[in-house]
Amino acid sequence: MKKWKSSMALLATCVVSATVFSACSNSNDNAGNEASSTPSATPTAAAIPDGKKSWEVDTSPITLDAYLNFSWFANNWTDSAAKEITKETGVSVKISKPVNDDDQKLNLMITSDKLPDIIMADKNSPAWNLMVEKGMLYSLDELAAQYAPELLQDAPKEAFTNYVADDKHTYMYVDFIEGEQYQEEVKKYNALVGTNQPEWSIRQDYLEEIGNPDISTPEAFTAALEQIKAKHPDKMGYYANVGDLVNDKDFQLGTNNMFGNYRYSINGDKIEAGFRSDKFKQELQFMNKLNTLDLLTKDTFIDTKDIFTQKINSGKTISYAWAIGEGTKTPSDNPNTSYKVMAPFDSYTQYRTGGGWNAFGIPKSNKHPERTIRFLAYMASKQGHMVAKWGVEGDKFSGDVVNGPHYSMVDGKPLYLPEYWEVKQKDWSGVSSKNGLGEYWFATNAAWWNEPEWNNTDPAFIEYNKMFGDKVKYVPELENLDPMPNSKEGIILKRVSDLYSQYGVKMIFAKSEEESMSIYEEFLKKADSLGLPQVEAYWTANYQKNAERMGK
């Protein structure tokens, strides 16, 4: 936190003292870019008239070229949301995108030194580091301090602490960050736990048959499955929805956070592979126990998603792992019952980094960085979110997806009108192409962006948030630890992951716990021989760097 305060003090100094942009020039400037990147003569932050926002100082028409590194992006700034943004800022955006999502087009632009006014790409794209190293990007904190101070106030604080470069400046604005503000808001509105929360479900009719016993521990759950399986031998006991273990990136063996394991295990100030932890051993012993009791089959590691869904819908399994949104299905073999979402074990922990995903950058080839940073400040403001995502306020949906109304204020909170939201859900792309709401996530504050969707009156999710809310743990310092795939450490990690996918099923389906643990120890030795400690040292270095930058 001390570093954040000192950075803010520096920014405030820049605001007061800046009369020309070079007063706060960033350390990555290079001679080749300086001549063409001087901002046009507009008022500095200190000269913004009282009562005006920075983006209101100049609303003359301007078009900014934006490259969005997402081939699937559908809108093109012709919808009603885009028109309203232009009306309020004067900014129109000409959007281009790649044919394939492989960074090839972006890398070509970097190599040829022909970047547009705006770059948007996944925050983990290697292109960001390359552009920073080449001095091709403006420092956003310095631009904001001089031209758009609202951005420093409206942005989640993590946007300017969690992604600083080695020179302590921020060159990419990351959106959808689930930081302190977001976490406070989602808890207030029972939205921390949503439909995609991992969980286990079990058939209510079968539980009632055996007297609704306690299933709050792995041992009690296993005992209940044994009883039910004895009455229904044709049913599968536990169905883990894993598929190929190559995709088991968090080393959970299909247990969906129930044992609190994660791909990274924090051991003091070091990071180890999650499969070294005691939590992994516990989930392995649990899965092996299910196997030895004939409560687990290899279908879990073979079936496709379609087959998995078919078996759940038909009621062929007693319990299964999936997500809350899919956890209350009605099995077709007994339409008078349903699968119920189980309360989590005490060991349940879901780790989230909350690091966001998309990033916005301003190349030095941009001739109007002051207008661009003010556009970014608008998009990051609450007003920008109301226009770009919420839509038109009103009490009754007219049936017109463009003119709305789209949401109403309920107890001081925006909530989408059910009729509009139903139309949107049924034809997302069609509605979005007309009104553009929710498509221009150029500087998204996850709390404001998602607020109209959070229905804090839904009794089911009030209960789910009570059940799982305290089990969600944010660890932002674990963000982006992995090496590049083509690096030495990246190649080692791939080999270890392949080894894990080979050994995982062997460990689970061993004939006894003793044999299972023996195979597990063999796996660890082979992983170490492949160079796993080298990868763990790489993770640790990045983790420590993150923790220092975030003041952890």
Burial label for 528, CB within 10 Å (0-12, 13-18, 19+), is: middle
pLDDT digits (tens, 9 = 90+) for 276-290: 999 999 999 999 999
The residue assigned the tokens 């009729």 is 419
**Spatial contact of 346 and 119, defined as CB atoms under 8 Å apart:** no
List, in sequence order, the alpha helices (H) in 325-458. Answer: 369-380, 382-385, 418-426, 428-435, 446-450
CA separation for the pair 531, 118 (Å, rounded)? 40
Residue 551: which pLDDT band, with cuts at 50, 70 and 90? Answer: confident
The residue assigned the tokens 């301007």 is 62
Summarize the chain as % helix, strand, coil (round to 5): 45, 15, 40
Q: What is the mean pLDDT of the chain?
A: 90
**Spatial contact of 332 and 312, defined as CB atoms under 8 Å apart:** no
> DSSP for 172-233?
-EE-SB--HHHHHHHHHTT-SS-TT-EEEEEEHHHHHHTT----SSHHHHHHHHHHHHHH-T
Query: What is the reported pLDDT for 247?
Result: 84
When pLDDT is averaged across residues 254-259 and rounded to a whole number, the result is 95
- The string over 535-548, giving b where at least 16 C-beta atoms fall within 10 Å of a residue's C-beta and e elsewhere, is bbebbbebbeebee
Residue 128: which pLDDT band, with cuts at 50, 70 and 90? Answer: very high
Q: Are strands 236-239 and 317-323 parallel, antiparallel or unpaired?
A: parallel
When pLDDT is averaged across residues 318-338 and rounded to a whole number, the result is 94
Burial label for 511, CB within 10 Å (0-12, 13-18, 19+), is: exposed
**Spatial contact of 437 and 406, defined as CB atoms under 8 Å apart:** yes
**Spatial contact of 195 and 325, defined as CB atoms under 8 Å apart:** yes
pTM of the model: 0.84
pLDDT digits (tens, 9 = 90+) for 438-457: 999 999 999 999 999 998 88
Which tokens sit at 401? Answer: 């997806």
**Coil, strand or helix at 287:** helix
When pLDDT is averaged across residues 9-29 and rounded to a whole number, the result is 36
Does 180 have pLDDT greater than 50?
yes
Does 31 have pLDDT greater than 80?
no
Residue 38: which pLDDT band, with cuts at 50, 70 and 90? Answer: very low
When pLDDT is averaged across residues 136-147 and rounded to a whole number, the result is 97
- The string over 15-44, giving b where at least 16 C-beta atoms fall within 10 Å of a residue's C-beta and e elsewhere, is beebeebebbebebeeeebeeebebeeeeb
Question: In the chain, what are the domains?
Answer: 2-179+356-385 (3.40.190.10), 198-353+478-483+534-550 (3.40.190.10), 392-436 (no CATH)
pLDDT digits (tens, 9 = 90+) for 83-93: 999 999 999 99
Which tokens sit at 44? Answer: 């500095």
pLDDT digits (tens, 9 = 90+) for 399-443: 999 999 999 999 899 999 999 999 999 999 999 999 999 999 999
Q: What are phi and psi of 362, to 5 degrees?
A: -120, 105
Q: Are strands 118-122 and 358-361 parallel, antiparallel or unpaired?
A: antiparallel
Query: What is the reported pLDDT for 51?
Result: 84
Query: What is the reported pLDDT for 245?
Result: 87
Query: What is the reported pLDDT for 29?
Result: 39
**Spatial contact of 176 and 449, defined as CB atoms under 8 Å apart:** yes
When pLDDT is averaged across residues 198-214 and rounded to a whole number, the result is 97
Query: What is the reported pLDDT for 400?
Result: 97
